[in-house]
């Protein structure tokens, strides 16, 4: 399974680019395929194409572990796993299939299976990165249990490349479920929130959920016996072509997501009550993820979401004066700055891309 | 190094000042400073490390934890946080000139939300108490370290504890949603959320396994899972370790993720059988326990597949539990492994390392050779599902050089784990025990970034200093010792 690909994007080249950027006080915009260019803030810098560093380093299905170079296309990783009957359990968005595994982990996005199987960060076992000093650092490993040293690997997940350039990534994988079925019910939003939560507490076979336009959809995964038992208990109407439905949610590309801009991503405790914002709404993740499309009063909604214990992200197409990521409380903001000092002291990587670092990055 | 001296000179004036400052807001019984009251805190579960702290403080509320930290920060006194003291790597060993803060009295279950499937608890609540408190909702907290009746959830987070169900249900880090953490200066931060994610870096993950070096955990919100309707276990006996290892690989490659998958070698089987009478065949070279849980039809199907694979791999005995009682009996042996070894030997040293599963047969063979070399008996229990080895080295501390030999044997096993691409600790942590082994797993630049991360959280360096991450000069000394022994292969091993 070990692919031998020429390593055009060798570490030495990358180090040279980092060294030059440090000397000239310029910035670098880290980029895999560019499939998530829409996501996160923007800032100045030289685009660095990381997609040449690709290939599967090690994959043994019986270990449930795959080690890949960060520039490997996500679609290639998924295809190799699928051949052995396995998958990335967090069902990452593919955005047209061009995305790289490095971009996937750096963005830390997960798909419909997230609340039931875990997030991208839950499946990262170890990684190697090049930090802002040009050092190659390796954390975690290719084993499922490992508590040596701080869990820096997981810290990198969702850090949007602001803490280093991801190079080699070890991921835990799982068998694909033998059977998947999706059933639909007509119900209101408050009812859907309660039902999603209630079933999640009773039915380990649950693997995805959504509610939009008065329709609750639940996906069941597992062995034939497990799924059938759950279907009997649930009732509802079987959805044809469920695979493409969940794919369209995973990649946010069906009519709901594209009917208007901006696209807002609201993360909440799963039992949080309806937000009652007069915009089209899609609920996912058992109630913990609520998408809204269209213009809204950002300050008011942010305050409400924060009050409910959640956070709002201007996921796609928002005006530039609105922060992409919800600003952090001061104590956490300070901690973030200090952590960035550890891995990117010269603020070379992805200025302005992440969190409320926009302002502080520009000031430097 | 086993038996490292943690004593330091106590400054009596500083102690008096601290006692006065703490008693200003804490009851007398919450501040201990006489030798007989300090004694119970001198070690954690790794008893070879002992030290009396300058004083012990037992706050009962989060705000008291913050005040204690702020005072210690002001005076410049190190603080070691302790949960139930069941840790196995010396992470809660006191520091002679420092404060030991016991969080055992923060033991309230704050809230249970059966619909959202969460429980919010204080750090001193025991792991098992959470599952007991939510059992009436048919929910449970999945990670179950073997000390679960005693160990505290705060300690579980600090060590990122595992248990026998990790492969299917994950480690502590996969089952905690939110933490409240007191920083060394007494400020509080909230990490994670009751939802699926939060803005910013994943500091929630970073706190897991940070061994009390970054902050003091004051509140934990855990995820609860629906209790599986059914659980059954298969016990299979094999004539060779490699046949058992093949069966493990085949089961996982077939698409089954067992709820538990444990392997015991001949020595361990014989020790536990004499102790717990679980019904394991005594002539087997390896015993596998493989558990399936879920809906009852699903479990029946899975057990059938598992049995077919085990038989095909040459299992000489196969026994499937037919009821709850038989299941507990089959597990009883595995669960009694440590006390059973304790009966066989005056002392034993439980090693904790992980390896990619494919190397298990080879590694166990090499451990047997090491056992000969060091002249010490060793029994192996192995979390086969997740590659976590627990060799139990038997020795007698009263005999001249057995402690040193046991230590050298344990270290050789850890180096073996690294050689095949594993780790020096799967679930027990580094603490004081594995500081030298850390030098072999990580390069200087990596260790330096760990120190820098600690500095980001704790600029004064007062939280559990000296644990978990070795100082670079210590690694230099370790390397020099190794060069003297002409044993250079352990310096720069890759992790992948």
| B190 → chain A, closest CA residue | A332
Which residue in the set A148, A288, A311 is minimally distant from B425, CB to CB? A148
Which residues in chain B are classed under CATH 3.30.43.10? Answer: 12-102
CB B177 within 8 A of CB B119: no
Instruction: Please indicate whether, in this complex, the C-beta atoms of A204 and B183 are within 8 angstroms of each other.
Output: no
For position A364, what pLDDT does the model report?
36
Test A223 with B298 for CB contact under 8 angstroms. Answer: yes
Judge whether residue A265 has pLDDT over 90. yes
Scan residues 80-99 of B and list those with Cβ closer than 8 Å to A.
Answer: none
What value does the mean pLDDT take over residues A308-326?
A: 96
Question: B187 touching A, CB under 8 A?
Answer: yes
- CB contacts of B422 in chain A (<8 Å) are 141, 143
Binary contact (B196, A115; C-beta < 8 A)? yes
C-alpha torsion angle, residues B124, B129, B133, B137 (rounded to 10):
120
Report, as ranges of residue numbers, the positions in chain B whose pLDDT lies below 50. Answer: 1-5, 486-496
CATH 3.30.70.3450, chain B: domain bounds: 230-333
User: Testing the interface with B: which of A143, A159, A302 to mutate, by most B Cβ within 10 A?
Assistant: A143
Q: What is the pLDDT of residue B363?
A: 97
Residues of chain B with CATH 3.30.465.10: 109-226
- Summary mean pLDDT of chain B: 94
Return the pLDDT at A356.
57
Per-residue pLDDT band for A317 (boundaries 50, 70, 90) equals very high
Residue A273 touches chain B, beta carbons under 8 Å? no
Domain(s) labelled CATH 3.30.70.2740 in chain B stretch across 345-490
CATH architecture assigned to B345-490: 2-Layer Sandwich (3.30)
Say whether the ipTM exceeds 0.90: yes
Q: Across the strands, what pairs with A157?
A: none
Nearest to A110, CA basis, from A293, A272, A281, A246: A246
Give the orientation angle of helix B296-312 with respect to helix A224-234, to 10 degrees. 180
At B345 the pLDDT is 95
The reply to whether A65 touches chain B by the CB within 8 Å rule is: yes
Min Cα–Cα distance to chain B from A234, Å: 14
pLDDT per position as a tens digit, A26-37: 999 999 999 999
Tell me the pLDDT tens digit for each residue of B348-393.
999 999 999 999 999 999 999 999 999 999 999 999 999 999 999 9
Tell whether omega for the bond before A262 is within 30 degrees of 0, i.e. cis.
Answer: yes
Model confidence at A363: pLDDT above 50? no
The CATH number of domain B12-102 is 3.30.43.10? yes
> Is A160's Cβ below 8 Å from some Cβ in B?
no
Q: Report pLDDT digits (tens) over B45-102.
A: 998 899 999 999 999 999 999 999 999 999 999 999 999 999 999 999 999 999 999 9
Eight-class DSSP state of B278: -
Selecting from A271, A311, A341 the residue whose C-beta is nearest the C-beta of B199 gives: A311
CA-wise closest residue to A175 among B349, B311, B199, B167:
B167
CA distance B104 to A73: 49
Q: Is B230 in CB contact (< 8 Å) with chain A?
A: no
Residues 17 through 46 of chain A touching chain B, CB cutoff 8 Å: none
Q: Was domain B230-333 assigned CATH 3.30.70.3450?
A: yes
Q: Which of B117, B203, B426 sits opposite A200 (nearest CB)?
A: B117
User: Testing the interface with A: which of B157, B160, B195, B206 to mutate, by most A Cβ within 10 A?
Assistant: B195
Q: Is the pLDDT of residue A263 over 90?
A: yes
B469 near A CB under 8 A: yes
Confidence (pLDDT) at B83: 97
Interface contacts A/B by beta carbons within 8 Å:
277
Q: Decide if A99 contacts A32 (C-beta within 8 A).
A: yes
Q: Alpha helices of B174-312 — where are they, by DSSP H?
A: 203-207, 241-253, 266-276, 296-312
Q: Averaged over A221-239, what is the pLDDT? A: 94
For position A97, what pLDDT does the model report? Answer: 76
Q: Spelled out in words, what is the top-level CATH class assigned to the domain B109-226?
A: alpha beta
User: CB-CB: which of A60, A151, A157 is closest to B208?
Assistant: A151
Q: Which of A148, A333, A344 to mutate to test the interface with B (most CBs of B within 10 A)?
A: A148
Q: Does A225 touch chain B if contact means CB atoms closer than 8 Å?
A: yes
């Amino acid at each position: 399974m070990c692919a031998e690909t020429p390593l055009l994007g060798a570490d030495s080249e990358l180090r040279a680019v980092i060294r030059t950027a440090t000397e000239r006080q310029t910035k670098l915009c880290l980029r895999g395929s560019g499939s998530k260019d829409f996501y996160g803030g923007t800032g100045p810098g030289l685009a660095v194409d990381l997609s040449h560093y690709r290939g599967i380093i090690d994959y043994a299905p019986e270990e449930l572990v795959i080690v890949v170079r960060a520039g490997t296309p996500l679609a290639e990783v998924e295809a190799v796993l699928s051949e052995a009957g396995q998958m990335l359990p967090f069902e990452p968005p593919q955005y047209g299939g061009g995305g790289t595994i490095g971009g996937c982990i750096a963005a830390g996005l997960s798909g419909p299976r997230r609340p039931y199987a875990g997030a991208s960060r839950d499946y990262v076992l170890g990684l190697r990165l090049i930090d802002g000093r040009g050092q190659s650092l390796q954390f975690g490993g290719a084993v499922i249990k490992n508590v040596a040293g701080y869990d820096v690997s997981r810290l990198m997940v969702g850090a949007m490349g602001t803490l280093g350039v991801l190079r080699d990534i070890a991921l835990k994988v799982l068998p694909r479920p033998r059977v998947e079925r999706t059933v639909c019910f007509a119900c209101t939003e408050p009812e859907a929130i309660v039902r999603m939560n209630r079933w999640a507490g009773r039915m380990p076979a649950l693997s995805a959920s959504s509610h939009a336009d008065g329709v609750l959809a639940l996906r069941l995964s597992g062995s034939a016996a497990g799924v059938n038992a759950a279907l009997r208990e649930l009732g509802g109407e079987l959805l044809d072509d469920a695979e493409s439905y969940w794919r369209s949610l995973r990649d946010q590309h069906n009519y709901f997501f594209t009917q208007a801009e901006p696209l807002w991503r609201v993360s909440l405790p799963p039992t949080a009550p309806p937000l009652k914002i007069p915009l089209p709404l899609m609920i996912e993740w058992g109630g913990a993820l609520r998408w809204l499309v269209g213009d809204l009063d950002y300050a008011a909604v942010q305050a409400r979401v924060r009050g409910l214990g959640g956070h709002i992200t201007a996921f796609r197409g928002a005006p530039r004066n609105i922060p992409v990521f919800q600003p952090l409380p001061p104590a956490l903001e300070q901690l973030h700055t200090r952590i960035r000092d550890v891995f990117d002291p010269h603020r070379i990587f992805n200025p302005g891309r992440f969190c409320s670092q926009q302002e502080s990055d520009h000031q430097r | 190094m086993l038996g490292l001296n943690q004593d330091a000179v106590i400054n009596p004036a500083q102690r008096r000042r601290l006692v006065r400052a703490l008693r200003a807001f804490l009851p007398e019984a919450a501040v201990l400073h006489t030798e007989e009251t300090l004694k119970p805190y001198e070690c954690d579960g790794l008893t070879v490390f002992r030290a009396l702290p300058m004083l012990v403080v037992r706050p009962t509320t989060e705000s008291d934890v913050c005040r204690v930290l702020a005072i210690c920060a002001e005076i410049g006194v190190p603080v070691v946080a302790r949960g139930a003291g069941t840790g196995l790597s010396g992470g809660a060993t006191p520091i002679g000139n420092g404060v030991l803060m016991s969080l055992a009295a923060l033991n309230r279950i704050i809230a249970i939300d059966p619909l959202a499937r969460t429980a919010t608890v204080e750090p001193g609540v025991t792991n098992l108490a959470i599952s007991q408190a939510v059992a009436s909702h048919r929910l449970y907290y999945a990670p179950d370290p073997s000390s679960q009746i005693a160990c505290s959830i705060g300690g579980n987070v600090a060590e990122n504890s595992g248990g026998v169900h990790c492969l299917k249900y994950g480690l502590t880090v996969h089952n905690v949603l939110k933490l409240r953490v007191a920083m060394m200066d007494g400020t509080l931060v909230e990490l994670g959320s009751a939802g699926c994610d939060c803005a910013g870096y994943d500091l929630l993950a970073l706190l897991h396994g940070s061994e009390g070096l970054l902050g003091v955990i004051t509140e934990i919100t855990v995820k609860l899972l629906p209790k599986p309707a059914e659980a059954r276990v298969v016990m299979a006996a094999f004539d060779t370790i490699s046949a058992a290892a093949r069966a493990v690989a085949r089961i996982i490659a077939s698409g089954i993720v067992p709820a538990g998958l444990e392997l015991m070698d001949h020595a361990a089987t014989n020790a536990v059988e004499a102790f717990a009478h679980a019904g394991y065949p005594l002539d087997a070279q390896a015993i596998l326990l493989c558990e399936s849980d879920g809906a009852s039809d699903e479990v029946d199907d899975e057990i059938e597949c598992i049995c077919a694979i085990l038989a095909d791999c040459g299992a000489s005995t196969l026994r499937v539990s037919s009821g709850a009682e038989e299941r507990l009996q089959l597990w009883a042996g595995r669960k009694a492994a440590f006390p059973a070894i304790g009966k066989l030997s005056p002392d034993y040293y439980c090693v904790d390392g992980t390896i990619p599963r494919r190397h298990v047969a080879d590694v166990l063979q090499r451990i047997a050779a090491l056992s000969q070399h060091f002249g010490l008996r060793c029994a192996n229990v192995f979390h086969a599902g997740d590659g976590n080895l627990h060799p139990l080295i038997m020795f007698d501390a009263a005999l001249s050089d057995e402690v040193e030999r046991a230590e050298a044997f344990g270290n050789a096993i850890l180096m073996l784990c690294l050689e095949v691409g594993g780790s020096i600790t799967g679930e027990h942590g580094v603490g004081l025990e594995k500081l030298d082994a850390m030098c072999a797993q990580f390069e200087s630049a990596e260790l330096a970034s760990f120190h820098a991360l600690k500095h980001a959280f704790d600029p004064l360096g007062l939280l559990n200093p000296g644990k978990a991450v070795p100082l670079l000069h210590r690694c230099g000394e370790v390397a020099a010792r190794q060069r003297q022994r002409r044993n250079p292969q352990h310096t720069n091993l890759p992790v992948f």
